[in-house]
Amino acid sequence: MPAGRDETTDDPAAGRSSLRPLVPSDATAMARWALDEEFCVAAEWSTELGFDGQLAFHRGIIADPPDGLLRLGLVHDDELVGYVDLHGTEEHSRELGFLIGPGRWGHGLGTAAAGLGIRHGFALGLREIWAEALDANQRSVRILHRVGMVETGRGVEAAYLGEPSFYRRFAIGQSARTAASSTSSPSESRSSPMTNGGSNRMTLL
Ligand SMILES: CC(C)(COP(=O)(O)OP(=O)(O)OC[C@H]1O[C@@H](n2cnc3c(N)ncnc32)[C@H](O)[C@@H]1OP(=O)(O)O)[C@@H](O)C(=O)NCCC(=O)NCCS
């Protein structure tokens, strides 16, 4: 396994995917994704920045992430195809976010990203991982169900692709994950630096 790779999945839908720390050159790939206007609208990225603006933005996030953000690259067949966020400053809980670049949707990579992000978070010692998805963003909602998250409530109203919608909140606990793992088959595995939050394991990031 190449140095820096820390999580893999053999989910047949996703092929072989893994998470790794982002490196400065990843900003170029991300800025290229932003050239796809349809992607930007669906991912709620700015369409105003242009390639250079996007490049500078992502370089900045990689070099000096906002407080509480751990962003890891999702690599598939040696290509950066998306990223996973674990965000927050609470000691044992983080919000999961994930994004897949344009031209790659619909092949299981979003599901792989979310599953790997959850596994990574629990390996770091988190006790709970939560996420929010807009009801109108059905891909995201389906992913959160598929990776074993439980719906915990309704969030604020917000528009998605110009359509009125609302956030649905999901969560998964370490204990639920452990229980699920112990009953699964062996083959099933299925933007400021993150603060330490008092846990030494977090410093491994
Ligand atoms: C959400 C996102 C990550 C999905 O990525 P993806 O690689 O297409 O995801 P997958 O291929 O794993 O598919 C996820 C689910 O969406 C379903 N899906 C695919 N196309 C769909 C469509 N047009 N409408 C509804 N669901 C669809 C898939 O069938 C799958 O569900 P299933 O496993 O129950 O069959 C991607 O669209 C994205 O990056 N969006 C912008 C950022 C975002 O919204 N992130 C999530 C917020 S945390």
Nearest alpha carbon to residue 146 among 118, 117, 111: 111
pLDDT in tens, the chain (205 residues): 344 445 555 454 455 899 999 999 999 999 999 999 999 999 999 999 999 999 999 999 999 999 999 999 999 999 999 999 999 999 999 999 999 999 999 999 999 999 999 999 999 999 999 999 999 999 999 999 999 999 999 999 999 999 999 999 999 999 877 655 554 433 333 342 222 222 323 322 3
What is the per-residue pLDDT for 14? 53
What residue spans define the domains of the chain? 7-184
How remote is the CA of residue 108 from the centroid of ligand 1, in Å? 8
pTM: 0.86
Q: Determine how many CB atoms are found less than 10 A away from the CB of residue 90.
A: 14
Q: Quick check: CB of 74 below 6 Å from ligand 1?
A: no
Q: Quick check: CB of 142 below 6 Å from ligand 1?
A: yes
Nearest alpha carbon to residue 88 among 57, 132, 130: 130
Please give the CATH topology (third level) of the domain spanning 7-184. Answer: Aminopeptidase (3.40.630)
What is the Cα–Cα distance from 147 to 13, expressed in whole angstroms? 13
Alpha helices in 22-129 (DSSP H): 26-33, 37-43, 50-63, 109-123
What is the per-residue pLDDT for 175? 82
Q: Quick check: CB of 9 below 6 Å from ligand 1?
A: no
Q: Determine how many CB atoms are found less than 10 A away from the CB of residue 161.
A: 11
Contacts of 153 (CB under 8 A, 6+ apart): 168, 169
| Pocket probe mutation, ligand 1, options 44, 87, 138, 139, max atoms within 8 Å of Cβ | 139
